Structure 1
Amino acid sequence: MYAMHYAITLPADYDMDNIRERIATKGPLLDDLPGLGMKAYLVREKGVVGSAVNQYATFYLWASAQGMGGFLWGGRGFGGIVSSFGRPPVRHWAGAACHLGRQALSAARNATIKEVDIEPDADPAAAVSSALASTVQRAGQPEVCLAAVAVDPQSWKIVTFTLWAGEPSAENEARYEVGHISMPELDAILG
């Protein structure tokens, strides 16, 4: 599994309903994309639940590297982002685990993303093991639809992505509104 994320920061006076309309129109186009485990279409609006910016963002969990490459440079979707907004930097991580929560994915209304550094003198195995255990616990929370964890071994950071049916109970995490979820190969990324 591979995790991927990009965020496009928009002007402070940008009408975010344009982004919501884009998601409603274009989101379902990836509902059957080969190699895609799950994609969440995300929105942050300046002044709403503490956001300092307007942002259109996505978070992906890929079942295969071929699917990810096909999307980014193989003509299966990323060209639409590039033609509308320019080419944003795309962050990616090695996926470590993805678990369904107690709520259905169709109930997801909010998402959170949190990155933490693995301390320079820490054993990566212990840090990742702890993150895996925390992800299982998070998936068991009442409002969680999905919880995933991934690792960037270049910068030694752990990222946790969570979909919530209600209000997130997480603190110090970037919070997003969920506009759409595509999940053509969800079973391939679970476990």
Structure 2
Amino acid sequence: MATRLLELGPKSVFIDVAAASSPLPEITRRVFGCRSFAQDIMYAPGVRAHEIGGDACAMPVEAGFADAAALTCSLEHFEGDADIRLFTELARVLRPGGRIVVAPLYLNPFAAALTDPRFALAADDLRFDADAVIHCADGWGNRHGRFYSPETLQSRILRPHGDAFDFRVFRVGEPLAAGHTDHSVYLRFALLGVRR
């Protein structure tokens, strides 16, 4: 779904933001023939081969470097105001007409955060949004997962970056999730931003 929304082609320059060990950059390179980069804070700083290392909120690339980017299972892990700063950086990095897809976009009726207490208790620097209801998930293996409410999505992402992007939220159809009572299909919403 993300690649369909990104409209990738052989001339595209694509960044998988907060990629960790995702195969998406290699898949897009092979399927679409585009230049694909994996970006992650755990990579050595700088640009080398198909990797962009360092903070996603301050990528070491020139303005207008890419025309497509995706965050797959990653935006929720941007703590504090890093999600806000990330979209400011994406406005710089993406060319006019460039696209960003967030999939899944975790939405909830109220602002919430998911945390594994074993990771949260070991982190002195972990702070949750003041308005978020905290849910503990023992064994989840992550310290922070933000679930936006409609209001916090508006206030953190859509309004502050509305001059730079045309945004659209997609609700993924229930047939995709039919028969998956174990919640193995958790893509319910996606966000598309098109750079103005």
The alignment's TM-score, normalised by the length of structure 1, stands at 0.32
Relative contact order, higher structure (CA 8 A, sep 6+): 1
The alignment's TM-score, normalised by the length of structure 2, stands at 0.32
The structure with the greater share of residues assigned to strand is 1
